[in-house]
Homo-oligomer: A and B are copies of this chain.
């Protein structure tokens, strides 16, 4: 249990009237007290600054500042970080939005990292690492994930083929063979274009990696490697951003894994050994 607060409690019978008032206020508002001054706290409790100092000494703590530090240290024990689970509402103010959106996103990442199959990840890394050419496609909004991965791969000299226009992408994919890899992102796994690409891949003997969210879909059956992002409770219909974030994090993991496979050659180029600022990504 909370140390300082329990000390305060244990002194209940020893306190004078004024001290008791101070103690009660502290017990009820520990997190507020942490950022008050002696003057503030004196006003809030209807006592005096001297009373606050005396209170600290009484419970065996040398100064008010020390008391606040000790209190702050203890508070965190309680503070398992706030998780803003409630749905987004019209009444939410901007701070609510930040809390909810960021904590959800962060939660989605943590969930995914727990559920992610290391085995499938390694299959994907190996396939891409040893592929002759990588064809990347992201359906609709997921296209940015495919794009991000494409840019990364090009940087380390892996031949990556990506086109936003699905027809161009199909034309390009028509040349796939078994030494290539198809990498598709489809949150739902039901997108028509993705299914078509996967079918072509199968016909041509090209291994396919699917980055998806739905646990059951037509696309799953057609892919060789499946990377799952955690499900999210959607509360907004437009823009499944949390899913997008986890997809990007998976892509980042794949990319880093590939870099490591490439080993020493790439090490100095890729890893930030000395000057992080020298190379921009913007």
- Residues in A lying within 8 Å of B, measured CB to CB: 1, 13, 34-35, 66, 68-69, 72-77, 79, 81, 87-88, 90, 92, 94-95, 97-99, 101-103, 105-106, 109-110, 112-113, 116, 118, 121-122, 125, 139-144, 147-148, 151-152, 155-156, 186-188, 190-191, 194, 234-241, 244-245, 248-249, 251-253, 255-257, 259-260, 263-264, 267, 269-272, 276-282
Contacts and interface: CB of A to CB of B under 8 A. Distances in A.
Contacts of A190: 280, 282
Contacts of A236: 256, 259, 270-272
B66 A69 contact: no
Given A155-B238, A235-B272, A69 B35 contact: yes
Nearest to A77: B76
A90 B140 contact: no
A88 B271 contact: yes
Contacts of A267: 90
A236 B271 CA distance: 4
Nearest to A124: B94
B94 A105 contact: no
